[in-house]
Amino acid sequence: MEQEKLVYTDRRNTGCLKWDELKARFGEDDLLPLWIADMDFKAPALVAQRLHELCDHGVFGYYKTPESYYTAFLNWERERHGYEPQRDWLRYSPGIVAGINWLVTLLTRPGDGIIVMTPVYYPFFYAVRDHGRTLVESPLVNDGGVYTVDFARFERDITENNVKVFILSSPHNPAGRVWQREELARMCEICEKHGVVILSDEIHQDLVQPGHKHLPTALAAGKPEKVVTFASASKTFNLAGFNNAFVVIPDDELRAKFDAFVKPLHLTAGSIDGYVAAQAAFEGGAGWLASLLEQVRENDGIMRAILAEGLPCAVVSPLEGTYLQWIDLRAYLKPGEEEEMIARRCRLAVDYGDWFGPVGTGFIRVNLATKAEHIRAAAEALVRELKA
């Protein structure tokens, strides 16, 4: 496989959230943005080529969903992850968060418990609370930055809170864990025992570092029909603006309910440009992805080295998967001063740890999918301002 060189691009004044919404989100314009999880690199070259071909054609009327789009995804899943879902299990969603929200409404009633393992991707919280369900937080165990599951606590939280659904982040955002087969199997076993359906967000499935292997949750389950898998080309290949994701529903009855739910909403299909971009990425993006993972690994090393020397009590969680670095700064931050120290003094826009649940207070999440120069500048700013 020939690697494709990454191309950094200046995204300012293009309407992107990461760079152009700083004032609205953080109250400042001139911050270095390392927050929302997209990249500062152009997508794989084949994506642009195929989109240019579509634009050159010049007709943008009604399109059917290309069967080649599904074939490209299924080939990618089989070759990269050993997962072979059936074609008729696949459904469209404009994004993984939307899909999770839809399944929450289908699988639960107001007041039902939905469990998450905190710290965790904060839109999971909204998917529960916005529908009047009960959020059940089962904290992960943090041992020196390495996060593991307290299975006894997890099972107890399920049985004591009328839990119907478990929303899983795999690989885990923000802690960077790539769950091992034994861990996933135990999660599935507990959920199957108590009739809990797993919604497995696997959007970071391809962003895994050497020495680790993503295993689709469905492959670890005794009852894979009780696992709904969410996947997309968007995180892997920087295509989030196309609003295109897969929902994999093995259970016939649940799939029929899903179809009945989305039909009156007229949300059964996406736009042709999203299909073209995703298919191109799956078919021709492997070399680009290899370069991305190298860059993320380099950036991870830069941050670790600078913090180890300048802020030795900071704890950076091992980056097994995702391109998101989870940093424990509790030794240097007092509760409530994160915004003042990180945004006002360090001049950085990051995801604050408490966004991921109370157990994240005093942490930050840093997006490594940018050029090394930015990560070095961020690390040096943290040392300069927090060391005092």
Instruction: Report DSSP letters for 137-191, one per residue.
Output: E-PPEEETTEEE--HHHHHHHHHHTTEEEEEEESS-TTT-----HHHHHHHHHHH
SS3 content of the chain, % helix, strand, coil (to 5): 45, 15, 40
Nearest to 7 by CA among 47, 62, 34, 55: 47
Helix or strand or coil: residue 227? strand
Residue indicated by tokens 């802020």 = 311
Q: Return all residues near 298 (Cβ < 8 A) that are at least 6 apart.
A: 372
Other beta carbons less than 10 A from residue 152's beta carbon: 9
Give dist(CA 359, CA 117) in Å, integer.
10
Predicted TM-score (pTM) of the model is 0.97
User: What value does the CA radius of gyration of the chain take, rounded to a whole number of Å?
Assistant: 21
The per-residue pLDDT string of the chain (388 residues; one tens digit each, 9 = 90 and over) reads 799 999 999 999 999 999 999 999 999 999 999 999 999 999 999 999 999 999 999 999 999 999 999 999 999 999 999 999 999 999 999 999 999 999 999 999 999 999 999 999 999 999 999 999 999 999 999 999 999 999 999 999 999 999 999 999 999 999 999 999 999 999 999 999 999 999 999 999 999 999 999 999 999 999 999 999 999 999 999 999 999 999 999 999 999 999 999 999 999 999 999 999 999 999 999 999 999 999 999 999 999 999 999 999 999 999 999 999 999 999 999 989 999 999 999 999 999 999 999 999 999 999 999 999 999 999 999 999 998 7
pLDDT at 117: 99
Predicted pLDDT at 8:
98
Q: What tokens were used for 99?
A: 């899909």
Q: Output DSSP code: residue 242.
A: G
Q: Token pair of 312, please? A: 């030795």
Burial class (CB in 10 A: 0-12, 13-18, 19+), 358: exposed
- Using alpha carbons, select from 213, 123, 176 the residue that is nearest to residue 323: 176
Domain boundaries, the chain: 17-44+286-386, 50-284
Indicate the CATH number for domain 50-284: 3.40.640.10
* Res 188: pLDDT: 99
User: What is the reported pLDDT for 335?
Assistant: 87
Four-way CATH pick for 17-44+286-386: 3.30.390.30, 3.40.50.1100, 3.90.1150.10, 3.20.20.450: 3.90.1150.10
**Both structure tokens of 301:** 């090393």
Q: So what's the pLDDT on residue 1?
A: 74
DSSP 261-273: HHGGGT-S---HH
